[in-house]
Copies of this chain bind each other. A is one copy, B any other.
């Protein structure tokens, strides 16, 4: 039975403002028992030729001394993303980091204390941006762990990490987010290593470079081509071998590039 557009779909014309104010004043927000809401942030970086994630050691029960994804309660007047960024900054000291919402985990039994719903985020930081990890306001230990060699994790955090890794791979495949894991200037080999580390498999150098759509310094750009990366005139001289040209992402804004890898 379709009631398609049986009403005006406009705000009624007589003034409801007074009625509305009265209603809001009477509204009893405590009718329902409320869950606690936290944000957890899966913070990835590429370091030591490895995909690493930041974990903190729990100082309290439950799961005392086990490792966990950093997170905490959302303040009542704070957006979810602001809460997640606050956690991120507390742990890493880094601002202006790429972050996106991942999934909301809310099984009633996931925290033995009380009902806790967590909105999980994932973040990408450039290794060099991360200051010495803060000693931790909670006197918690914190450290980077390879996603390929994780310790046992508290709560359902192993699930959250799995999910984050899947999403990261997806994002790398279809977007240019990799720039979030690299300095502004990088060599193509460094970029390829990022992909190889995240996907955990070797890639063909020539095919990889073809898909990057590199705008070359000397050549005139093709008018309709969507370039992702451009050459610079700088080179990285290190080691006793041919120097590698440095490149940069043309657009350091997250962009979808369908079927990239």
A→B interface (CB under 8 Å): 1-7, 9-12, 16, 19-20, 23-24, 27, 29, 32-37, 47-48, 52, 57, 60-62, 64-67, 73-74, 76-80, 101, 103-104, 106-108, 112-115, 117, 119, 132-133, 141-146, 149, 151-152, 259
Q: How many copies does the complex hold?
A: 2
**B112 near A24: Cβ-Cβ < 8 Å:** yes
Instruction: Give 10 closest A-B pairs by Cβ, nearest first.
Output: A3-B143, A9-B151, A80-B106, A34-B34, A23-B61, A29-B114, A33-B76, A104-B104, A2-B144, A20-B61
Q: Are A73 and B4 in contact (CB under 8 A)?
A: no
User: A24 to chain B: closest CB distance in Å?
Assistant: 6
CB atoms of A35 and B76 under 8 A apart: yes
Task: Find A76's partner among B27, B115, B141 (CB 8 Å cutoff).
Answer: B115
Say whether A48 contacts B80, CB under 8 Å: no
Q: A79-B106, A80-B117 are in contact. List 10 more A-B contacts (CB 8 A).
A: A2-B47, A2-B143, A4-B146, A7-B151, A9-B151, A23-B62, A29-B36, A33-B76, A35-B74, A259-B259
